[in-house]
Amino acid sequence: MHPPRHGSIAERHATRARPSLRSRATARPTDLTVWGALVAAGGVFAAGAFAAPLVAQSPLEGFTAASAEAQAVCEARFLELPSSDAFREHLRIITANPHPTGSQAQIEVGHYLGRVMKAAGLTVREHPYDVYLPQLTDDVEAHIVTPEPMRLNNRERALDEDRFSGHPDLLNAWNAFSGSGDVTGEVVYANFGRREDYEALDSMGIELADKVVVARYGGNFRGYKVLFAEQRGAAGVIMFNDAPAEEVDPYPEGPMLNGEIIQRGSVLTLPWTGDPLTPFEPALPIDGDRQVERLDPDEVGLHTIPVLPLGYTAASEILSRMTGPEAPEDWQGGLDLPYRLTGGEALT
């Protein structure tokens, strides 16, 4: 047997394959992945030989060499435009005063944003809307009535490290679209207030009629905690941020919630978003040229029972006084006390 003139058969195949693959890759770039896989499977590592020229020709995926250069210039210019100092100044102005929805302060924030966008060269138009919103009020309180009267704190304390926390226009914590009223009742703990939590209470024979439900945030949207309680005849709902399970420094020393931070927010649970009285329609001005049919608030299905949020320090005053059976293990929370299902007749 005569020895091969150009080495082994495998070497000859490799020698022939490399220029062939490079040629195919140049003519049909979409074949690059297919042919590269075939070469690797055959034990010949020639992929790098033709991959590098393609990357050099088009460094941005989806662009030709010519358009990639123009795109790179555009992206570099875009990255130069934002200014962290400008963002910081905008945030300082926007957050200088509390501006809950419907307040004059919120209107001023809108005007400011319009001026900023106009200064940036954008065309800005302002459109008025008449939206059904909760009344802004500071008349929101929670009390333990018996056995010993106690006012529960529902406003964050002012911190030296947070200049916003002591603003004179801050309101007591409240949930938008809560029902109005003054109710007193025995306490029932409902874990996260999920559907399955209320069904568990049903299965345990714990009735909610005329009771004040205490539920911790998390597990579902806050509005459904209220809806499921209201469906069972509850008199009211108190929601609270639970203490963290792990020992992490609370704000302002660390990132975790401290015991007085309160989660606000809407509890609206309608099957549409936006203005509750104009489903799937813009809430155009009542006295405008175009009229939009508005629903009667009493027929919309808004919550009718009072709802109030607390921090976990205030909530612990309720939980620590409850005397009923202990809640299941997976209903226990971050506070150093047993979470119980009912408060007993003495606690209201």
pLDDT tens across 160-186, in order? 988 888 899 999 999 999 999 999 999
The confidence score (pLDDT) of residue 51 equals 39
Q: In the prediction, which pLDDT does 284 show? A: 93
User: What is the domain partition of the chain in residue ranges?
Assistant: 9-80, 84-119, 140-268+303-348
Range with lowest mean pLDDT among 70-74, 111-115, 204-208, 265-269: 70-74
pLDDT at position 61: 84
* CATH for the stretch 140-268+303-348: 3.50.30.30
Question: What is the model's pLDDT at position 155?
Answer: 92
Please report which confidence band the pLDDT of residue 280 belongs to, taking 50, 70 and 90 as the band edges.
very high
At 308-325, the pLDDT tens digits run 999 999 999 999 999 999
Three-state DSSP string of the chain: CCCCCCCCHHHHHHHHHHHHHHHHHHHCHHHHHHHHHHHHHCCCCCHHHHHHHHHHHCCCCCCCHHHHHHHHHHHHHHHHCCCHHHHHHHHHHHCCCCCCCCCHHHHHHHHHHHHHHHHCCCCCCCCCCCCCCCCCCCCCCEEECCCCCEEECCCCCCECCEHHHHCCCCCCCCEECCECCCCCCCEEECCCCCHHHHHHHHHCCCCCCCCEEEEECCCCCHHHHHHHHHHCCCCEEEEECCCCCCCCCECCCCCECCCCCCCCEECCCCCCCCCCCCCCCCCCCCCCCCCCCCCCHHHCCCCCCEEEEECHHHHHHHHCCCCCCECCHHHCCCCCCCCECECCCCCC
